[in-house]
């Protein structure tokens, strides 16, 4: 029996290219680039970034971190080329500290114990500082690249399959004789120890093989998993939940077993065409959490479902909404850091391959002056995919004055080469109505693409409605 059909999408979620599209909930986009969930249930074009401080060299920025000492003074650090630089308060120029030379191209890990900063690059001597602007080689400390404070000691990774820990309440004491009780732990199994971090009042060692072990100060427990991080630089946490990437996807860990959280974007991580995350990127992908979002820079990827390429892709996970979105940045981030500045404002900075750092903005809509191209795409079948439909009306709600445009395509297939996009014009009025032409609007599937590219105009998609009738009623 012929019937009218109406599809209302006013609760827009995250990307889902994992589930059979005929099982999608209305409002699950198959593409969403450079948009964020603000307000909840809608999508808004992300804000941009601008340069942060200068370029003391033109080498790739490999590490960014900060230290706030016991007096409340903030110091930012960057590792690039063969130097570790500092910036007082995040406003002073990048400056080379005393004994600040590192191995060329190395990444630097760090920890703090009793107002002493200790750090290393895994190649040269581990060193420490109480001033933050001058470093001293830490006698007897192991060469290490990952550091964590746990139960009043500094723990590190080390060479091969050993982890090390220093003397209680002294980041500078690594003696093993007399009253000093520094020692080492054999972390068994294949691979080398690549990272150490805290979770649920346990110390976690991860190995390059994916194995993970728990240490409580007395016992070492094999977690019997191979789902540890492939990139130690992708480990970031929010409220005790650690997230990282490996070749099977993104995992969340809160103290029990790692749990896969990236199913919705699986085809962007690996796919049959082999054009998702490049294999070597899994070993070095940087990530960070900022507010309630996890950012992971994975280079250029092509989604295996939509066959759309995302340049300088940052895969973003929203903890609060449990959804994944994509950012396409003007440059490829090589290191991230989120910190609270001297004014108490949370900031996110990142570096690039040419020695420049950038700061995310909450008010500008350009990437260092360049236009941000945003788009979101939906596939609709009105919950009757087997029936032909005559699509008749589309109503889209956006913020008035935006520069967004809309395209539609009617087809009986998902093959992108068979989609004939029709431009329906701008959406500056805030409420845009479009009547489909009868001669080209018959088909089982409707594709809607809303896109925008400007330097200074925000764009919010609140939702849309589509009306039509089954083909028998034409």
- 361 and 392 inside one domain: no
CA 328 to chain centroid, in Å, comes to 11
Q: What is the pTM of this model?
A: 0.95
Whole domain around residue 43: which residue ranges? 4-47+374-473
Q: What is the mean pLDDT of residues 399-408?
A: 95
- 123 and 38 inside one domain: no
166, exposed or middle or buried, with CB in 10 Å at 0-12, 13-18, 19+? buried
The four Cα atoms 350, 134, 144, 151 give a dihedral, to 10 degrees, of -90
- 179 and 301 inside one domain: yes
pLDDT of residue 332: 98
First to last CA, the chain: 12
- 106 and 124 inside one domain: yes
Of 372, 389, 418, which one is at a domain's C-terminal end? 372
Cα Rg, the chain, nearest whole Å: 25
Instruction: Please give the C-alpha separations between residue 73 and each of 89, 160, 303, in angstroms, as whole numbers.
Output: 7, 37, 44
Alpha helices in 326-441 (DSSP H): none
- 134 and 242 inside one domain: yes
215, exposed or middle or buried, with CB in 10 Å at 0-12, 13-18, 19+? buried
- 422 and 360 inside one domain: no
Residue 468 belongs to domain with CATH number: 2.60.120.260
Split into its structural domains, the chain has a count of: 2
pLDDT band of residue 44 (cuts 50, 70, 90) is: very high
Omega prior to 150 cis, within 30 of 0: no
Contact yes or no for 472/6 (Cβ under 8 A): no
pLDDT at 362 over 90: no
Of 313, 344, 372, which one is at a domain's C-terminal end? 372
- 436 and 359 inside one domain: no
Of 325, 357, 372, which one is at a domain's C-terminal end? 372
β-pairing, 431-435 with 389-398? antiparallel
pLDDT at 105 over 60: yes
pLDDT of residue 47: 95
Omega prior to 46 cis, within 30 of 0: no
In order, the DSSP letters of 264-299 are: GGHHHHS-TTS-SS-TTHHHH--EEEETTEEEEEEE
Residue identified by tokens 């479902």 is: 305
pLDDT of residue 473: 45
Rounded Cα distance between 450 and 462, Å, is: 12
pLDDT at 417 over 80: no
- 392 and 358 inside one domain: no
Rounded Cα distance between 275 and 3, Å, is: 42
Residue 114 belongs to domain with CATH number: 2.130.10.10
- 155 and 96 inside one domain: yes
Tell me if residue 471 falls in helix, strand or coil: helix
Handedness of CA 248, 253, 259, 265 (dihedral sign): negative
pLDDT of residue 1: 62
pLDDT at 472 over 70: no
Tell me if residue 418 falls in helix, strand or coil: helix
Mean pLDDT for the chain?
94
- 54 and 34 inside one domain: no
Give residue-wise pLDDT tens across range 249-287. 999 999 889 999 999 999 999 998 899 999 999 999 999
Percent of the chain past pLDDT 90, that is, above it, reads: 84
DSSP-derived secondary structure letter, 417: G
pLDDT of residue 158: 86
pLDDT at 97 over 90: yes
Closest CA to 146 of 157, 154, 130, 136: 157
Q: What is the mean pLDDT of residues 148-152?
A: 97
- 331 and 357 inside one domain: yes
pLDDT band of residue 474 (cuts 50, 70, 90) is: very low
pLDDT of residue 471: 65
Give residue-wise pLDDT tens across range 194-233. 999 999 999 999 999 999 999 999 999 999 999 999 999 9
- 97 and 160 inside one domain: yes
pLDDT band of residue 414 (cuts 50, 70, 90) is: confident
């Amino acid at each position: 029996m012929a019937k009218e059909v109406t599809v209302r999408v006013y609760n827009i979620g995250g990307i889902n290219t994992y589930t059979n599209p005929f099982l999608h909930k209305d409002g699950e986009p198959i593409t969403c680039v450079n948009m964020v969930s603000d307000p909840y249930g809608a999508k808004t074009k992300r804000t941009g970034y601008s340069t942060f401080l200068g370029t003391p060299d033109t080498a790739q920025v490999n590490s960014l971190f900060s230290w706030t000492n016991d007096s409340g003074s903030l110091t930012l650090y960057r590792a690039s080329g063969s130097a570790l630089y500092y910036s007082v308060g995040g406003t002073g120029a990048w400056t080379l500290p005393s004994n600040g030379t590192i191995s060329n191209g190395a990444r630097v890990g760090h920890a703090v114990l009793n107002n002493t900063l200790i750090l290393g690059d895994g190649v040269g001597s581990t060193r420490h500082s109480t001033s933050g602007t001058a470093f001293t080689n830490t006698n007897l400390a192991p060469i290490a690249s990952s550091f964590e404070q746990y139960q009043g000691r500094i723990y590190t990774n080390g060479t091969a399959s050993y982890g090390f820990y220093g003397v209680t309440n002294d980041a500078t004491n690594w003696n093993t004789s007399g009253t000093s009780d520094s020692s080492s732990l054999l972390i068994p199994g294949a691979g080398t120890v690549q990272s150490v971090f805290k979770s649920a009042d346990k110390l976690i060692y991860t190995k390059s093989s994916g194995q993970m072990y728990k240490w409580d100060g007395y016992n070492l427990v094999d977690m019997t998993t191979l789902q540890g991080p492939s990139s130690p630089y992708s480990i970031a946490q929010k409220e005790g939940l650690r997230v990282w990437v490996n070749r099977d996807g993104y995992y969340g860990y809160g103290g029990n077993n790692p749990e896969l959280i990236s199913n919705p974007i699986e085809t962007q991580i690996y796919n049959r065409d082999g054009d998702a995350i490049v294999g070597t990127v899994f070993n070095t992908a940087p990530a960070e959490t900022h507010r309630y979002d996890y950012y992971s820079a994975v280079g250029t990827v092509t989604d295996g479902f939509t066959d759309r390429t995302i340049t300088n892709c940052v895969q973003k996970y929203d903890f609060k909404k449990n959804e994944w979105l994509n950012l396409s940045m003007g440059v490829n981030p090589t290191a991230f850091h989120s910190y609270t500045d001297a004014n108490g404002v949370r900031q996110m900075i990142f570096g690039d391959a040419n020695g420049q750092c950038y700061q995310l903005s909450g008010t500008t809509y350009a990437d260092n002056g360049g236009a941000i191209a945003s788009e979101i795409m939906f596939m609709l079948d009105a919950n009757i995919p087997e029936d032909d439909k005559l699509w008749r009306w589309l109503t889209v709600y956006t913020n008035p004055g935006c520069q967004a445009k809309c395209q539609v395509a009617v087809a009986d297939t998902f093959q992108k080469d068979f989609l004939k996009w029709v431009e329906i014009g701008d959406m500056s009025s805030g409420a845009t109505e479009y009547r489909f032409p009868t001669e080209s609007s018959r088909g089982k599937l409707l594709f809607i693409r809303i896109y925008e590219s400007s330097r200074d105009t925000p764009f919010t998609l609140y939702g849309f409605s589509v009306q039509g009738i089954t083909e028998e009623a034409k």
